[in-house]
Amino acid sequence: MPDIFEITLLSLQVSALATIVSLLIGLPLGTWLALGEFRGRAFILSIVNTGMALPPVVVGLVVAMTLWRSGPLGDFRLIYTPWAIIIAQTVIAAPVVTGLTAAALASLDPRLSLQLLGLGASRGQMVWTLWREARLPLLAALMAGFGSVISEVGASMMVGGNIRGQTRVLTTAIVLETSKGEFERALALSALLLAITYLINLALTWVQQKGARR
């Protein structure tokens, strides 16, 4: 396929950006859920945990209805653009990052935050220290968030439309080639996707293991 580089680059761009946005949402939200004590906390956590298992096609349907011309965000004309895929993938990854962040921080010794505050640390300094203490499981949350979007196909197909040169990513290209009976191309694209996913996770695992030895 002559446009394989373009497809691969777009896949990495949308998945990386969706993962970053999910981290910006999930890290503070998960921290708030782990450290906060308020009415309804268990209910919110149950929603987040349910969101971790959201079917991508359901996410794609909801996002598509929201971005469609007659939808509440239709005036932005984001449907069938890379931004629509990023939005859908963020909805998929954000609960994963949030839930794993909350679990990582909740597993720390609760006396640690009290000790930090007792030593005069501000709340921001206390949170930063807790993040450093939980950096390995937090990195695992990042890896899980990225893994949930780089391999996603249902939502990307629904909101992106699999348009050549615009919204076609590796997963949707694999589906297209399979539907055409081009199994060799589909297998080649699958191998490329697996290789990219492996290399990225290998790099993140190396960072994680390096941090574990400190």
Residue 128 falls within a domain, yes or no?
yes
d(CA 56, CA 164): 21
Number of domains in the chain: 1
3-class secondary-structure state, position 86:
helix
Domain range for residue 158? 4-169
Q: Render pLDDT for 91-132 as a digit per residue (tens, 0 to 9).
A: 999 999 999 999 999 999 888 888 888 888 888 999 999 999
Residue 153 falls within a domain, yes or no?
yes
d(CA 141, CA 97): 5
d(CA 74, CA 21): 21
Token pair 């899980």 in the structure block, residue:
144
Which pLDDT value is given to residue 1? 55
CATH code, domain carrying 77: 1.10.3720.10
Q: Render pLDDT for 128-163 as a digit per residue (tens, 0 to 9).
A: 999 999 988 999 999 999 999 999 999 999 999 999
> Is 91 in contact with 63 (CB distance < 8 Å)?
yes
Residue 75, C-beta contacts closer than 8 angstroms, at least 6 positions apart: none
Residue 210 falls within a domain, yes or no?
no
Report whether pLDDT(59) > 70.
yes
The single-letter DSSP state of residue 74 is G
* Continuous segment of H or E residues that includes residue 175: helix 170-179
